[in-house]
Structure 1
Amino acid sequence: MTTLENAAAVLKLFSKQEIRQGHPGLSFSDVVENLKLPKSTVSRLLMTMETQGMLERDPDSRLYQIGKLLLAVSSHYLSAPLVDLASPYMTQLSQLTQCTGYISMLEGRDIMVMRMFPGRTYLQVVTPAGSLLPAHETAIGRAILSRYTDDEVRQRFSGKYHAQSANAPESLTVLLSRLAEVRLTGVSFANNETLLGISTLATSIFNKHRNEIVGLCLSFPSPAQGKEIPEGIRDGLIAVTRQLAEKLGDEYWHLPAGN
């Protein structure tokens, strides 16, 4: 493999081994074992990646983390005026509700996670910024899709429609029906779809000045059968959404209180 291919293989290890923020990092041995390269080659490769800002090495543990160059590039890519505006609100909301919060945008048939806000409720699995998920199989994706007409949604999903989760809309017809429900309430709900044991409540915001739509959501452990969504989650999410809508002139949320 070329040096570029080897460097890409190293970066993919971070995803493969689920090394995220707060994780100690990737070791020299991890790279040697997974890339099946001579130690001398790995040593030169990691040194070059570190010199170029692609990796950083902890001086004490000697473990590698993603470098400032890649973080800077990704932060710009995962940034948009509406995302930046909504972030402080979602930070506070996640702390108040103890839920993990997300801001996402639509990318084709997928949603891309732009920001993640850790809550105090322990979730074994979280979805980091930069992740892509099927829009039709997520509450936040359906909240965004509900802002489009049925014809626009049909065009976006033209061709083969497939749902991996047993709890997701199994056909385009069912998806359109679910979107109609979201348009009535402004709120989208997913229960055990992307992840078993996890429920998500989502809304969407439109910035008409820049033609941007983002989804806002809170994730939390799924309520026991017959139980309601924990108190404060729905009201808190709607309150934050209305505050943002007022700033942006999003008339979709100019509804009487309580609707």
Structure 2
Amino acid sequence: MTAESTSTVQRTANILHALGASDVTPESGLGVVDIARRVGREKSQVSRALKALSEVGFVERDPHTLTYRLGWQFFALASNAGQQRLRTVGPPVLRRLVGTVKEAGYLSVLCDRSALTVLSESPGRAVEAVGWVGRTTPLHSTSTGRALLMDRTPEEAGHLLAGTDFTDAGPGAPAGLDDLMERTARARRTGYAVADEEFESGLVAVAAPVRDFSGRVVAAVNVSAPKYRAGRDLDRLGRVVMATGHQLTAAMKGRGRPA
């Protein structure tokens, strides 16, 4: 790679970093002059780079304000990279969690209107849930669902859960959307969700969110166990699972090592 091409790549990366800064919202964006100032380049150089980036969908230009923001193609690639990284960093972290709590652990993502289990780890106990990879569970009656809903407004959750039968659950499940959102708000405050016989009788679980580089919830890590074995220890389990969620989040952002 020549010095000129290296400079072009660096300039492009700096522009994308500038548009992705925490003080830049999708509504406001940045003008060419602001971008040039932030990356320390001439306006003409930045304009040419933005034109090339917009042609491939990495940035978008607002036709009214003439400001730029990150485009759909950038987020599509980031999402795909995040999913790949989750599959890479997830297994060793999940194994450590299960080794610590001695209960079954799972990693799930939002799929349509359910939680899809993508990874699982077993402690080898005689009594445990098995065969969950590739299966879905409801959002309204599981700790995993609540963790995945943590960043959703009541309106967004209502749209996502439209038509849900809240009576089709365990004895401790939320009675309706308002109850669910109250429990979700409580989970947001503590950092982890607790489900006590919500999915089915005799089963308890705790879950915490996993976030991507933008801070968006992209997955949930959870531990579930029979109530007779873990029912009195849910707060401790919750704190351990929350720490695991933080570890996975750091790894997703490239700030932690999975092994």
Within a 5 Å distance, the mapping from 1:54-69 to structure 2 comes to: none
Within a 5 Å distance, the mapping from 1:212-223 to structure 2 comes to: 213-223=218-228
Q: Secondary structure at the match of 1:194?
A: coil
How far 1:87 sits from its partner (Å)?
2.1
Question: Does 2:137 correspond to 1:138?
Answer: no
CA pair 119-160 structure 1, distance change in 2 beyond 3 A: closer
**Which deviates the most, 105-114 or 190-199?**
190-199
Structure 2 unaligned blocks of 5 or more? 1-82, 255-259
Q: Distance in 2 between matches of 1:231 and 1:137?
A: 18
Give 2:189's aligned amino acid. L
Please tell me whether the aligned partners of residues 106 and 214 of structure 1 are also in contact (alpha carbons under 8 angstroms).
Answer: yes
Q: Secondary structure at the match of 1:218?
A: strand
Q: Secondary structure at the match of 2:140?
A: helix
Q: Secondary structure at the match of 1:125?
A: coil
How far 1:231 sits from its partner (Å)?
8.2
How far 1:194 sits from its partner (Å)?
2.2
How far 1:93 sits from its partner (Å)?
1.0
How far 1:99 sits from its partner (Å)?
0.6
Structure 1 unaligned blocks of 5 or more? 1-78, 251-259
TM-score, reference length from structure 2 = 0.58
Please tell me whether the aligned partners of residues 190 and 200 of structure 1 are also in contact (alpha carbons under 8 angstroms).
Answer: yes
> Which residue of 98, 102, 118 maps to 1:98?
102
CA pair 144-195 structure 1, distance change in 2 beyond 3 A: same
Question: Does 2:178 correspond to 1:173?
Answer: yes
Within a 5 Å distance, the mapping from 1:1-259 to structure 2 comes to: 80-165=84-169, 166-208=171-213, 213-223=218-228, 228-229=232-233, 233-248=237-252
Q: Secondary structure at the match of 1:184?
A: helix
**Which deviates the most, 120-129 or 148-157?**
120-129
How far 1:155 sits from its partner (Å)?
1.5
How far 1:206 sits from its partner (Å)?
1.2
Please tell me whether the aligned partners of residues 83 and 103 of structure 1 are also in contact (alpha carbons under 8 angstroms).
Answer: no
Give 1:86's aligned amino acid. G
CA pair 136-231 structure 1, distance change in 2 beyond 3 A: closer
Please tell me whether the aligned partners of residues 104 and 225 of structure 2 are also in contact (alpha carbons under 8 angstroms).
Answer: yes
- Alpha-carbon RMSD across the aligned residues, in angstroms, is 2.8
How far 1:223 sits from its partner (Å)?
4.0
- How many residues align structurally? 172
Q: Distance in 2 between matches of 1:216 and 1:147?
A: 15
Give 1:81's aligned amino acid. R
How far 1:221 sits from its partner (Å)?
2.0
Please tell me whether the aligned partners of residues 140 and 202 of structure 1 are also in contact (alpha carbons under 8 angstroms).
Answer: yes
Q: Distance in 1 between matches of 2:154 and 2:234?
A: 32
Q: Distance in 1 between matches of 2:190 and 2:236?
A: 17
Which structure would you say has the larger Rg? 2
Give CA-to-partner distance per residue, 1:168-189, whole Å, 9 cap, x none: 1121111111111111111111
Give 1:113's aligned amino acid. T
CA pair 127-190 structure 1, distance change in 2 beyond 3 A: farther
Give 1:243's aligned amino acid. Q
Give 2:155's aligned amino acid. D
TM-score, reference length from structure 1 = 0.58
